[in-house]
Amino acid sequence: MAVDALGILALTLAALLGVLLAALQLPGTWLILAAAIVYDWCYDWAKLGLVVLSVLAGLAVLGEVVEFAASYVFAGKAGGSRRAAWGGVIGGLVGMFVFTLPVPVLGTIAGGIIGCFVGAIVGEMTRHDDLQRSARVGIGAALGHIAGMIAKLALAFVIAGVAVSLAIFR
């Protein structure tokens, strides 16, 4: 019984850390999934099961896709061109890395948002020489990035909740 409690505690701590990492735009969903896999492996795949683990892996993939696709979609909804949409995606990735160096924790979040905004503006300016239009598209891309972050965080909560709940109640 003590071993089971330690396993659940370790999985719960990994899940909490994973949610925190997901909030900081780091691979928290993957940490939760890895912890769930290790936990279930220790119990010969009897606690969570391969079907549940596969669904959780699918949710982790979905979180990554949504996080990066949201800025692309929102830039397009704001009237942006494909260049603006891709500029937002690439700018978000570059911004995350550039701002993480001087400001390790919050720099990733701010850098992603600022990078999406600037990248979409630059992309749109290569198509249309209209700063007001480009700024509107940049705002759309930045809002998309925020929506993607929120969606991924929500999926991290779901993955963590399912894994820990099944570990406790199965």
The rounded radius of gyration (Å) of the Cα atoms in the chain is 19
The model scores a pTM over 0.75: yes
Percent of the chain with pLDDT over 70: 98
**What rounded mean pLDDT belongs to the chain?**
94
pLDDT tens digits, 132-151: 999 999 999 999 999 999 99
Range of the domain at 112: 2-169
Overall number of domains in the chain? 1
Which pLDDT belongs to residue 101?
A: 84
**Contact between residue 32 and residue 55 where contact means Cβ atoms under 8 Å apart:** no
Please state, in angstroms and rounded to a whole number, the distance separating the CA atoms of residues 80 and 73: 9
Mapped onto helix, strand or coil, the DSSP state of residue 164 is helix
Which pLDDT belongs to residue 32?
A: 98
Amino acid at 127: R
Structure tokens at 28: 């928290």
Which pLDDT belongs to residue 3?
A: 66
**Per-residue pLDDT band at 44 (split at 50, 70, 90):** very high
DSSP for 5-48, please give it: HHHHHHHHHHHHHHHHHHHTTSSHHHHHHHHHHHHHHHTTT-SS
**Per-residue pLDDT band at 103 (split at 50, 70, 90):** confident
